[in-house]
C-alpha cells in the first residue's frame, strides 16, 4: 500500500497520447503511444492481417475500434504506478464511457489490488478523462456480414466450440493473438485449412518488464478484454457477423471467498454483457459478441470435450507452458492440475499421465493446489479454473470409477477421502443435475442455442 500511495503521488498522470494506423496491402499496422511523464514511454503495437485491399486508415469505425483497443492495452502500463488520472488525448469518451472503462479496470484489476495489498475503491482509484477527438473523415465499410469468428486459445473450451459449430455446418474463421503450436494444431484437427486461422501479432512493450524489475507495481490485468477488442477489429476486417467466445458459466465465480475478486472477470457474463452493449452503442460494427459455452459449467465442457478424442493429443491450457515453443504442459502449476482433475472422471489414469507427461494425481507437490481447487483454502488458485463444487464432483466421480474397477486410489484422492470430502451416496443425482445444467444468463442467438442444446443431448 505504501508503494501504491508513493507512486500515485510521484506520477499523478498517465497519458494515452496517440495511436497510429498504417494501412498496407496485406495488413494493418497499429501502434500506441502511452506515457508516464518523467518515468517512461511505451509503444506497444499490433499487426492485423487483411483479406481484401480495402483502406482502413480513414475509416471512422475502425478508428474507434483501434482507440478502444488502446484503452484495453493501457491498463497494463498504467498499473505500474496507478496514476490517479488517466488522460486520453487521442479520442473522445463521454462520461458514461469513462465509467464503463473504470468498471472494467477496477473489476479486472481485483486480483492485482488483492495480491499487492492495495485498499481502494471504484470511485477513487482513477479518474479517466479524454481531451482529444477522432480525426478520421471517410466512409465505414458497409458490406454484409456473415459467418463466425472463433477465438482459439489452444485449450479444450475453444476446441469444443469449434468442433460443435463446424459439425453444425457453420462457416467459421478462427482467430488467435500471436501463434502457438496448439492453436494451429487445433484448427488443423478441426479439419480447417491453414488460411482459416487469422493470427494478429501483438507486440508488448518490454520496457514495462524493466520497471517491474525495479520494483514498480505488477500483477494480473483483464487480458480477455484485449481479446474482445482485438477480435472485434479482426471481425470488422474479415466482415464476420458473430464473434463466438468460449467462456463458461463457471468463470462467474469469485476467486477469493467472500470478496469480489475474480481472476476471470473479463471472462465473466457481467463483462460479456457490458462489452456487448458497449459495442452496440459506441462501436456499431454490426458484429454480435457472445460466448457459446456460457450456459455450461467446466464439468460439462470437460465431459463433452473428452468425447472428441482427436483433440486430446493437441490441446494445451497451461499458461507457463504456453511461454515456451512448442507450447507444453508444465505439469507443475494449478492450471495443469485443474485440467487433470476436471477430466479425471472421463479419462483413464494412463491417459491423464500421457497428456501431462507425469502422474499429477500421485504427486505430493500438488497437494497445496489440490486444496485450493477443492475449497480447502482461503482462495482458489489465481488461474482460469472451474468452480469448487464442480471440481469436487469430478474428483468424487473419478474416485468412484476407480473403486468400481478395484484400482489403486491415487495419493491426492486418498487424502481427499481421509479428510471426509468424499460422499459417494449422492453422486449419481449430482452428476445428473450437472449434466442437465443450462445457465439462462447468456447471450446466445436462438440458432446457436439450438446447436448447443442438441450437442448436450447427444453427449450428456
Would you state the cell numbers that stand for residue 227, as one nine-digit string? 481479446
Hey, which bits of 271-317 come out as E strands? 288-291
Please, which pLDDT band fits residue 433 given cuts at 50, 70 and 90? very high
Average pLDDT over every residue of 335-353: 96
**What does the alpha-carbon distance between residue 393 and residue 390 come to, in Å, rounded to a whole number?**
5
**What does the alpha-carbon distance between residue 267 and residue 383 come to, in Å, rounded to a whole number?**
12
Task: Name the percent of the chain lying above pLDDT 70.
Answer: 98
Contact 173, 95 (CB under 8 A): no
**Residue pLDDT, tens place only, 54-107:** 889 889 999 999 999 999 999 999 999 999 999 999 999 999 999 999 999 999
The answer to whether the peptide bond before residue 326 is cis (omega within 30 degrees of 0) is: yes
- Cβ-in-10-Å burial (0-12, 13-18, 19+) of 17 comes to middle
Neighbouring residues of 213: CB distance < 8 A, sequence distance ≥ 6: none
Task: Name the percent of the chain lying above pLDDT 90.
Answer: 84
Helix axes 95-108, 60-78, angle to 10 degrees: 40
Q: Pick the residue with more confidence: 206 or 426?
A: 206
Neighbouring residues of 157: CB distance < 8 A, sequence distance ≥ 6: 246, 247, 248, 293, 301, 305
Q: What is the mean pLDDT of the chain?
A: 94
Please, which pLDDT band fits residue 319 given cuts at 50, 70 and 90? confident
Average pLDDT over every residue of 10-31: 96
**Residue pLDDT, tens place only, 160-201:** 999 999 999 999 999 999 989 999 999 999 999 999 999 999
pLDDT at residue 134, as a whole number: 85
**Residue pLDDT, tens place only, 98-146:** 999 999 999 999 999 999 999 999 999 999 999 988 876 667 766 799 9
Q: What does pTM read for this prediction? A: 0.95
Q: In sequence order, what DSSP letters do the residues of 220-247 get, joined into one string?
A: ---HHHHHHHHHHHHHHHHT-SEEEE--
Residue 325 confidence (pLDDT) above 90: no
Average pLDDT over every residue of 232-254: 93
**What does the alpha-carbon distance between residue 71 and residue 322 come to, in Å, rounded to a whole number?**
25
Question: What Å distances lie between residue 146 and 168, 241, 282, 381, CA to CA?
Answer: 16, 5, 21, 39
Contact 374, 287 (CB under 8 A): no
Neighbouring residues of 390: CB distance < 8 A, sequence distance ≥ 6: 250, 297, 298, 299, 342, 434
Within 10 angstroms of residue 129's Cβ, the number of other Cβ atoms is: 14
Please, which pLDDT band fits residue 1 given cuts at 50, 70 and 90? low
Average pLDDT over every residue of 34-63: 94
Contact 101, 75 (CB under 8 A): no
pLDDT at residue 38, as a whole number: 96
Hey, which bits of 384-437 come out as E strands? none
Amino acid at each position: 500500500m505504501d508503494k501504491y500511495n508513493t507512486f500515485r503521488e510521484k506520477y499523478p498522470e498517465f497519458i494515452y497520447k496517440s495511436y497510429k494506423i498504417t494501412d498496407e496491402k496485406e495488413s494493418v499496422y497499429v501502434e500506441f503511444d502511452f506515457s508516464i511523464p518523467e518515468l517512461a514511454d511505451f509503444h506497444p503495437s499490433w499487426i492485423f492481417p487483411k483479406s481484401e485491399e480495402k483502406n482502413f486508415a480513414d475509416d471512422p469505425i475502425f478508428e474507434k475500434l483501434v482507440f478502444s483497443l488502446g484503452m484495453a492495452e493501457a491498463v497494463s502500463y498504467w498499473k505500474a504506478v496507478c496514476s490517479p488520472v488517466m488522460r486520453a488525448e487521442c479520442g473522445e469518451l463521454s462520461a458514461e464511457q469513462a465509467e464503463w472503462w473504470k468498471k472494467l479496470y477496477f473489476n479486472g484489476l481485483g486480483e492485482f489490488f488483492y495480491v499487492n495489498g492495495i485498499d481502494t475503491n471504484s470511485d477513487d482509484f482513477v479518474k479517466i478523462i479524454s481531451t482529444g477527438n477522432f480525426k478520421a473523415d471517410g466512409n465505414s465499410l458497409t458490406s454484409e456480414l456473415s459467418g463466425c469468428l472463433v477465438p482459439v486459445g489452444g485449450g479444450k473450451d475453444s476446441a469444443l466450440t469449434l468442433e460443435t459449430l463446424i459439425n453444425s455446418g457453420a462457416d467459421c474463421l478462427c482467430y488467435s493473438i500471436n501463434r502457438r503450436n496448439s492453436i494451429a494444431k487445433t484448427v488443423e484437427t478441426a479439419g480447417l485449412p491453414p488460411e482459416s486461422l487469422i493470427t494478429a501479432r501483438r507486440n508488448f512493450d518490454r520496457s514495462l518488464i524493466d520497471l517491474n524489475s525495479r520494483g514498480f507495481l505488477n500483477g494480473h490485468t483483464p487480458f480477455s478484454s484485449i481479446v474482445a477488442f482485438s477480435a472485434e477489429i479482426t471481425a470488422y476486417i474479415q466482415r464476420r457477423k458473430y464473434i463466438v467466445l468460449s467462456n463458461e458459466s463457471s468463470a462467474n465465480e469469485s476467486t477469493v471467498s467472500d470478496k469480489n475478486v475474480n481472476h476471470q472477470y473479463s471472462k465473466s457474463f457481467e463483462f460479456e454483457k457490458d462489452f456487448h452493449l458497449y459495442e452496440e452503442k459506441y462501436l456499431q460494427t454490426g458484429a454480435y459478441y457472445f460466448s457459446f459455452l456460457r450456459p455450461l459449467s467446466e464439468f460439462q465442457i470437460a465431459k463433452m470435450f473428452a468425447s472428441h478424442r482427436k483433440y486430446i493429443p493437441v490441446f494445451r491450457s497451461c499458461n507457463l507452458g504456453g511461454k515456451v515453443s512448442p507450447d507444453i504442459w508444465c505439469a507443475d502449476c494449478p492450471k495443469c492440475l485443474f485440467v487433470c482433475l476436471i477430466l479425471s472422471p472421463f479419462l483413464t489414469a494412463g491417459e491423464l499421465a500421457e497428456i501431462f507427461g507425469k502422474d499429477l494425481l500421485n504427486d505430493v507437490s500438488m497437494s497445496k493446489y489440490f486444496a485450493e481447487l477443492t475449497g480447502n483454502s482461503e482462495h482458489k488458485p489465481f488461474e482460469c479454473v472451474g468452480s469448487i463444487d464442480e471440481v469436487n464432483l469430478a474428483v468424487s466421480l473419478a474416485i468412484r470409477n476407480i473403486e468400481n474397477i478395484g484400482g489403486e486410489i491415487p495419493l491426492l484422492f486418498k487424502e481427499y477421502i481421509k479428510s471426509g470430502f468424499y460422499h459417494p451416496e449422492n453422486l449419481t443425482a449430482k452428476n445428473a443435475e450437472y449434466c442437465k445444467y443450462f445457465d439462462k444468463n447468456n447471450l446466445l442467438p436462438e440458432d446457436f442455442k439450438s446447436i448447443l442444446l442438441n450437442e448436450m443431448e447427444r453427449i450428456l
